[in-house]
Amino acid sequence: MNAVVNVDDHRDMSLNSPLLNVSDLQVRYGNYHAVKGVNFHVARGETLALVGESGCGKSTTAMAIMRLLGGRAELTGRVDFDGLDLSGISDPQMRNLRGNDISMVFQDPMTSLNPVLSIGEQIGEVLRRHRGLSRKDARAESLTLLRKVRIPNAEARLDDYAHNLSGGQRQRVMIAIAVACKPRLLIADEPTTALDVTVQAHILQLLKELSEEYAMGLLLITHDLGVVGQWADRVAVMYDGLIVESGSTEAIFTRPQHPYTQGLLGASLRLDSDSHYASASLPEINVRRSESGAIQFELHSYPRASSLPERAAKADLSPILEVRHLCTEYKTRQGLVRAVNDVSFKIQPGETLGLVGESGCGKSTLSKTILGLIRASNGQILLNGTDIAPLSEKQLRAYRPLVQMVFQDPYGSLNPKHSVYRILDGVLKNHGIKQAQQRSQRILDIIARVGLPLSAVWKYPHEFSGGQRQRVGIARALILRPSLVILDEAVSSLDVSVRAQILNLLADLKEEFGLSYLFISHDLSVVKYMADRVLVMHDGQIVEEGAHEGIWKNARHDYTRKLIGSVPVPRYRVNDDESVPYTHSAWQDLPVAMLLSRFAI
């Protein structure tokens, strides 16, 4: 592993002592060394971003600061909060600090909020415990806090429960609880993951304003470099339990020294970048361990022969999917709600159509209606010229192999009790492929195609990483050889480098199998890279449509401009003269027959 790099050692820290100072923090769980000697500090009123991918130790570090790891964890090192050694105080003293002087906002507010207590009761509990307020005063202060975090109709929301709120509103409630006692340090662990771009912008702006208002130190834990580049003052990059590089945001983004930092920046997508899947793959980070045990990082990418002229020629062909005046309605206590309202569009053979919009706009309802999982109340769904909207479930079975879906959460969509082989074999059996040898051949073929080792067929979903599970989900979608694949937020929860791998895989498979994609995402930078055309959806309607080259620069609709304006864009750019070397993965050149010959079932 390369030595820790600090790219702004010239920074003068003598102006004031840090609010939080972490020195040689180490966390072990038995033989597993999760955090391996971490050092960083946070000043008053400063935002430090702790950046890294899943499993690097970010959340463990945060939980160690809060002393929430439990009895199995073995901690060494020192955590000083405003000169107080947190490891040397009693549990009651630490409980008094938590929520009062140090607070934390967790990633998933739905699992952090109590489902059986109202929002007002949960905020009031903190105020009564730490500030000694009466129930009446705590309720009044809870209302003030909800208004401060800009909850709409705050007075009515006091008596609502967590399930009554949207994801963004639940996160605002978590922030209200965290800042109720005006803490001096706030730890925000992935506070905007999976939130819409506009909600994300509001949450981050709110955190910044509260930090400035209370002179509060903010430790922002994230893997989103766009967020870091726009909102953080300093950055610490973490890998495998170590801080490998730290410095000011400007220094990290313009002069990254460590190869891993360079790799993260190279694999990140930006809305102000002109990169597109048709011209080049995204750089991927390769991690290698030498014989001496040292970890080496390499970036690799490869150019693609642009197929845009061929795709333009296919525009004259009949569309693979044409949706005409589609409407989908739900029955509620208040009456009918039209989730999809008079939507029309086409997808040409070999085209990727991007669909963007905020949660609740109707994107997922539209995709489920196309698949026949929800019945359309009106309109047509023409698949290769046949209207499948009025077909019965039995009649739809003949068309299901033509349209498949990759879901956002592969862990939740894969049967945890079945091996990969059994999952894929079941799909083939259900669609009439009776010969066991033929099924085995197709399973091994698609596993090789999605870049998994052939031994993966005997594993279960819990034995894979998030990126590997998503490859299994892609294999399940492609094993029936569809013409159209719907990707519903398929990369939204993945780390930067894993996301790059999956997007490259999708682009390669698209060209290899002649696929068309309906690519649904709230991440506009991902859609800009992957889509040939883009639809913008709002309140159940398509409000704008355009080619990927133009819609981002010449948006016509106010809502589209609002979405684009909410995307976090780093204030700094990596020096343009630093190029990424192109290499090619050797496995891609191996014929599938050779791979299959080495693995017999």
- Mean pLDDT, 10 residues at a time, the chain of 601 residues: 52 61 94 93 94 88 91 91 90 90 84 90 93 94 90 88 82 88 91 76 84 90 86 94 94 91 86 87 82 75 64 71 95 81 95 90 91 94 95 92 87 88 94 92 93 91 85 93 93 82 91 94 90 94 90 91 86 53 31 33 29
DSSP 12: -
Give the pair of three-digit tokens for residue 70. 């439990």
Are 75 and 85 spatial neighbours (Cβ–Cβ below 8 Å)?
no
So what's the pLDDT on residue 573? 65
So what's the pLDDT on residue 599? 31
Radius of gyration of the chain (CA): 26
So what's the pLDDT on residue 142? 94
So what's the pLDDT on residue 306? 56
Strand partners, 545: 535
So what's the pLDDT on residue 15? 42
Question: How far, in Å, CA of 153 to CA of 266, rounded?
Answer: 43
CA dihedral 219, 225, 227, 228 (to 10 degrees): 40
SS3 content of the chain, % helix, strand, coil (to 5): 40, 25, 40
357: left (phi over 0), alpha (psi -120 to 50) or beta: left
Give the pair of three-digit tokens for residue 247. 């410095």
So what's the pLDDT on residue 3? 54
Report the 10 Å Cβ neighbour count for 160. Answer: 16
Question: How far, in Å, CA of 486 to CA of 135, rounded?
Answer: 50
How much is the pTM? Answer: 0.80
Are 501 and 468 spatial neighbours (Cβ–Cβ below 8 Å)?
no
So what's the pLDDT on residue 1? 53
So what's the pLDDT on residue 222? 86
Helix and strand totals (H; E) in the chain? 22, 23
Strand partners, 76: 26
C-alpha torsion sign, points 531, 364, 264, 268: positive
- What single string gives the DSSP state of each residue in 430-477? HTT---HHHHHHHHHHHHHHTT--GGGGGS-GGGS-HHHHHHHHHHHH
Closest to 203 (Cα-Cα) out of 180, 231, 165: 231
- Tell me how far CA of residue 235 lies from CA of 79, 212, 219, in angstroms: 19, 18, 10
DSSP 28: E
So what's the pLDDT on residue 211? 87
Report the 10 Å Cβ neighbour count for 546. Answer: 18
So what's the pLDDT on residue 315? 61
Closest to 252 (Cα-Cα) out of 44, 6, 498, 56: 6
Question: How far, in Å, CA of 506 to CA of 517, rounded?
Answer: 9
Question: How far, in Å, CA of 289 to CA of 152, rounded?
Answer: 52
- Tell me how far CA of residue 510 lies from CA of 287, 491, 593, in angstroms: 27, 16, 21
- For residue 58, give the H/E element and its range: helix 58-66
